[in-house]
Amino acid sequence: MELPSMRKSFSLAASLIFFLFLPLLLPATNDPVYDEAAVIERLKSIENPLVENRYNSIVRGYIKGYLFWNRDKTERILGRTVLYFPLMEEYLSKRNMPDKLKYLSVVESALYPHGVSRVGAVGLWQFMPETGKEYGLEINEFVDERKDPNKSTQAALDYLSRQYMKYGDWALALAAYNSGSGRVSRAIKRGRSKNFWRIRRYLPRETRNYVPAYIAATYMMEYYKEHEITPDYPALDYQITETLKVYNHFSFNRIAQVTGLSLEVIEMLNPAYKKGIIPDNIKGNYLILPKRVMPAFKDYLEALRPDQLSDHFFDDSPVLLQKQQENWKEKYIRQTYVVKKGESLKKIAKNLKCTVHQIIAWNGLPSTDLKEGQKLLIYQPKEFKRFKPLEKMEELPLAPGIALKGRQIQPSRQYPSDAAFNQLIYIVQNKGTLERIYRQIPGASLPGLIGLNGIPPNHKLKPGDVLKVQRIK
């Protein structure tokens, strides 16, 4: 049965394809930097291609879009591979599916989990609501699992494997992912063939260009170094992470206090949760945190065990709403690893408990080939944060003249409530009066700030001052 919700008549993928293809509408010019013969030869040399890597004017347009016209966007896409490709590769390997399927997520969303198409497709794999629910993704007021890197990837692979079983051809499976199996089946019937290139003219325009767009994305991912593009990798705290499955309710505020992270980091790593709350889920929810703080959260979970609750104390310190830029490298140590004879990048990554993509990112490697004696830079957390239930958590420093009411640590013998975490902390960035700068504070109102902080609207603030902010419910 065809799933109508997969008919993304103008999906984010279509938007990206159109954006990359737009320069083709301009008069053609001879670009001396673009060596077409070399590009064609590289396409032919790609090992284990998912589809037949045909080269035509459409593929050329998409390749130029990635590598010439929108290089800054391509740098950001490549930078996000270190976040999402390792988990995609793990799921693909477990299912014995082709590794190069991961490149489809580049076509769909440019590896941006918050991407939304004009028709409502969302996430790394651009699921419409009905299809997402059909494949087990929760979408409600607290969570949109289409944005969950783990759950959405599993759902996408479920869909793709179903299409491949139906057609026995990955090009047709990709086409069905874009426009629905019904349209592909009708095109096969009209064209009397199961060859994508032969039935292509019977498919919707977006789907006709979908496989060429995938070919271009594959070329970009395999050969961006030859075009002197440097990935824009995120900070180490976003790269060196650990994933944990949790089953109970947790607020981002509580996680921030336990780990010492800012809400910004937690939100960025966990895009599926809408209100800063991980809801109860008997099937489990994924929580991703920097590896250096995950021991603290695991300690916290251990402290929540029934036999530990009598000794557990909670501090009601406000949580940092916004932090000034930190030097992430100060939290990590840089080590040098010398490659031994016969060692592969995959083996080294496994032994050092990191990923191949991380080693490539840290060393700017042109390929996965290594030589004996080659030196590799490896980053590891300088220290792992721990959580001590009986230890009062560190108070945030307060600006002169701004006082918080005294608080006492109280023992909790029940499942911990986050009611105490109804206030956040905002660190003032610019000089000015409260009346002038309150609009810069997310979710704040002038009367609310006046009441919480006991200061008048003309109170002069300077960078580094601290304000209490009511948490948005």
Rounded to the nearest integer, the mean pLDDT of the chain is 84
- Angle at which helices 210-223 and 71-94 pack, to 10 degrees? 100
pLDDT tier, 423 (very low <50, low <70, confident <90, very high otherwise): low
Residue 3's pLDDT is what?
45
Nearest to 276 by CA among 389, 396, 141, 393: 141
Region of poorest pLDDT, from 198-212, 239-253, 423-437: 423-437
Residue 443's pLDDT is what?
65
The whole-angstrom separation of Cα 12 and Cα 119 is 9
Would you say 453 and 438 are in contact if contact means Cβ atoms under 8 Å apart? no
Instruction: Compute and round to an integer the Cα radius of gyration of the chain.
Output: 25
Q: Is the pLDDT of residue 32 over 60?
A: no
Q: Which residue has the higher pLDDT, 419 or 441?
A: 441
The whole-angstrom separation of Cα 145 and Cα 26 is 40
Region of poorest pLDDT, from 283-287, 444-448, 458-462: 444-448
Would you say 395 and 319 are in contact if contact means Cβ atoms under 8 Å apart? no
The whole-angstrom separation of Cα 40 and Cα 344 is 29
Which token pair is 156? Answer: 């996408």
pLDDT digits (tens, 9 = 90+) for 82-97: 999 999 999 999 999 9
Please classify residue 17 by burial: count the beta carbons closer than 10 Å to its beta carbon, then call 0-12 exposed, 13-18 middle and 19+ buried: buried
Q: What value, to the nearest 5°, has the Cα angle with vertex 254 and ends 250 and 255?
A: 80
pLDDT digits (tens, 9 = 90+) for 178-198: 999 999 999 999 999 999 999
User: Chain centroid to CA 102: how far?
Assistant: 14
Q: Is the pLDDT of residue 321 over 60?
A: no
Which token pair is 124? Answer: 């790394």
Residue 58's pLDDT is what?
96
Residue 17's pLDDT is what?
54
pLDDT tier, 432 (very low <50, low <70, confident <90, very high otherwise): confident
> In sequence order, which residues have a C-beta less than 8 Å from that of residue 290 and are 6 or more positions away?
237, 238, 240, 241, 242, 261, 265, 269, 381
The whole-angstrom separation of Cα 232 and Cα 223 is 16
Q: With b meaning 16 or more CB within 10 Å and e meaning fewer, what string describes 443-466?
A: ebeeeebbeebebeeebebeeebb
| CATH class of the domain at 4-227 | mainly alpha
DSSP character at residue 247: -
Would you say 185 and 163 are in contact if contact means Cβ atoms under 8 Å apart? no
Average pLDDT of the residues in 128-144: 96
Q: Is the pLDDT of residue 413 over 50?
A: no
Q: Is the pLDDT of residue 257 over 50?
A: yes
Residue 205's pLDDT is what?
93
Q: Residue 76: enclosing H or E segment and its boundaries?
A: helix 71-94
Q: Is the pLDDT of residue 297 over 90?
A: yes
Q: Which residue has the higher pLDDT, 227 or 433?
A: 227
Average pLDDT of the residues in 227-244: 96
Q: Residue 250: enclosing H or E segment and its boundaries?
A: strand 250-251
pLDDT tier, 9 (very low <50, low <70, confident <90, very high otherwise): very low
Would you say 196 and 172 are in contact if contact means Cβ atoms under 8 Å apart? yes
Domain boundaries along the sequence of the chain = 4-227, 234-394
pLDDT tier, 414 (very low <50, low <70, confident <90, very high otherwise): very low
Q: Is the pLDDT of residue 333 over 70?
A: yes
Q: Which residue has the higher pLDDT, 385 or 435?
A: 385
Region of poorest pLDDT, from 8-12, 149-153, 336-340, 464-468: 8-12
Q: What CATH topology corresponds to 234-394?
A: Membrane-bound Lytic Murein Transglycosylase D; Chain A (3.10.350)
> In sequence order, which residues have a C-beta less than 8 Å from that of residue 404 and are 6 or more positions away?
318, 398, 468
Would you say 424 and 472 are in contact if contact means Cβ atoms under 8 Å apart? no
Average pLDDT of the residues in 267-280: 95
Looking at residue 283, its amino acid is K
Q: Which residue has the higher pLDDT, 427 or 144?
A: 144
The CA-atom distances, in angstroms, between 428 and each of 423, 435, 436, 445 are: 16, 13, 12, 15
Average pLDDT of the residues in 155-178: 98
- Equal fold, 4-227 vs 234-394: no
Residue 328's pLDDT is what?
66
Which token pair is 43? Answer: 């396409």
Average pLDDT of the residues in 16-39: 62
Q: Is the pLDDT of residue 401 over 60?
A: no
Half-sphere exposure (Cβ direction) of 73: Cα atoms closer than 13 Å: 17
Maximum CA extent, the chain: 80
Residue 338's pLDDT is what?
97
pTM: 0.78
